[in-house]
Amino acid sequence: MDIAPTILSRLGPKEIARAIEVGNAETAARLFEHIDMTKARRVLHQLSEEGLTKVFEGIGPKRFAYILAHMKDTEAVRILRRMSKEQQAEIIKNLPKRENTVYSFLLHYSKDVAGGWMRADVLRVKPKESVQSIRRKLRGWDGYSKHIIVETEDGVFFGVIPLEILLSAPRTARAEDLAIGAETVDIDTDSEEVARLFTQYSPEIVVVLDDGKVLGIITAQEAIHLMEKEHAEDLAKIFSMRGIEHVWTPVRKAVKNRTPWLIINLFTAFLAASVVNIFESTIQTFALLAVFMPIVPGEAGNATTQTMAIVVRGLATGELDKTALRRVFWKEFVLGLLNGTIIGIIAFAFALIWKQNLLVALALALAMPLALIVAGLIGVAIPLVLKKLGQDPASSSTIILTTFTDIVGFSTFLGIATVLMKVMGV
């Protein structure tokens, strides 16, 4: 595969990453021969786990380590986390001493806690140091510099000095005179809690502590990546997948992600079918019911999904606490009643015009409000129960919700239709 450097220079990181994804290790090696360091770093960010493996095998751990050593600590670690333990070990062995120590330290912490998202390249000064001394240190500093960490002689957090304050302060002023407070979290704080902190208070940085001592910081930029990661994982869980999947994920891995949940969904579908089976005689007597049967559970499913999305977001941002629960349940009850009535009237009119059958139209009109009320309450309850059990509120919610809404939808529609048939002598 011959690649013209002039053509390659016109391609952006996304296009080069796409070529690697559809190619092999040799493709990755040849492409990386002709791109500069800046573009190489950007390409790595665009790649899936499989793409990173192709680059690793193509250019080798030494070249891979050289590229990572020229990246920000958090960026490099973010890439390393998407690689196997064996690949990580090979790369770390080839890193310079400083990066070897820092990357190994950061990889020690799970990506699900604050320690896994912090950057350690912060300038630290003591409270008695002068502005002149700090500025001198800053000139030779190549790490994060927008905030200077002030810590005591024992390493205990004292405060931070924003760069703009440092630049405007008198040369003789001391760090302790300029330091201001900052949001702090413990090293083991859940990443969702960190994301919530940035969402609620919008700090520029959050200082990560261990027994009061500074280990690093999380910047707003890193928080954005953190929130994107949480969002992607929640989407995967909401849609009943075991892990985050990319468009380039191999079929075998995609099957592993999706199939177990599809099997579970099959069993829940049979559970819903068993509810329909209870009303088998009703359907046999009045076959027209089968035509309209999916409408009520379908509407209930949509209503539940809407409610669940709001509740999961409320739990994630801290908006939904114990004091708000009663109001949320009442709100969903009223919404279910109003929406169910509106949708029920529309369904009544449509069924009456289409099939000229009063019984079916009435069954739809009466079942819809009841189903949407129950659906809304379920949409609130299930995320709360999952959280109470120590599970992620988004975890496998769709399967649980689909089962409940199908059962509620089928039973209300067919149950009301059965009663109407007796009343109307059908």
Could you read off the pLDDT of 362-375 as tens digits, one per residue? 999 999 999 999 98
- Per the structure block, which two tokens stand in for 283? 């359907």
- Closest C-alpha among 346, 378, 366, 374 to residue 414: 366
Q: What's the CA gap between 336 and 300, in Å, rounded? A: 9
- Pairing state between β 157-162 and 183-186: unpaired
CATH numbers and ranges of domains, the chain:
5-108 (1.25.60), 122-219 (3.10.580.10), 251-423 (1.10.357.20)
Task: Give the sign of the dihedral formed by CA 356, CA 359, CA 365, CA 367.
Answer: negative
CB distance 351 to 360 below 8 Å = yes
**Radius of gyration for the chain, computed over Cα atoms and rounded to the nearest angstrom:** 29
For 379, counting Cβ atoms within 10 Å of its Cβ (0-12 exposed, 13-18 middle, 19+ buried), the class is: buried
Cβ atoms < 10 Å from Cβ of 328: 20
Q: Tell how far CA 424 is from the center of its chain.
A: 52
- Per the structure block, which two tokens stand in for 230? 């949480």
Task: Give the sign of the dihedral formed by CA 40, CA 46, CA 48, CA 51.
Answer: negative
Q: What's the CA gap between 69 and 65, in Å, rounded? A: 6
Residue 420's Cβ-side half-sphere holds a number of Cα atoms within 13 Å equal to 20
Residue 1 pLDDT: 47
Cβ atoms < 10 Å from Cβ of 359: 19
Cβ atoms < 10 Å from Cβ of 168: 10
Place of tokens 């999706």: 258
The CA-CA-CA angle for residues 242, 246, 252, to 5°, reads 65
CB distance 260 to 242 below 8 Å = yes
- Per the structure block, which two tokens stand in for 101? 């120590």
Q: Report residue 48: phi and psi, to 5°.
A: -80, 180
CB distance 193 to 223 below 8 Å = no
Q: What's the CA gap between 393 and 403, in Å, rounded? A: 17
Where the chain has pLDDT below 50, the residues are 1, 235, 240-241
- Closest C-alpha among 176, 184, 181 to residue 125: 176
Q: What's the CA gap between 174 and 185, in Å, rounded? A: 26
- Per the structure block, which two tokens stand in for 298? 């379908």
Q: What is the DSSP string of 61-101?
A: HHHHHHHHTTS-HHHHHHHHTTS-HHHHHHHHHTS-HHHHH
CB distance 173 to 134 below 8 Å = no
Residue 391 pLDDT: 66
- Per the structure block, which two tokens stand in for 64? 């891979």
Q: Starting at the earlier edge strand, list the strands of the sheet with 144-151.
A: 122-125, 144-151, 157-162
Cβ atoms < 10 Å from Cβ of 199: 14
Q: Which residues pair with 324 in a beta bridge?
A: none
Q: What's the CA gap between 146 and 137, in Å, rounded? A: 13
Q: What's the CA gap between 419 and 409, in Å, rounded? A: 16
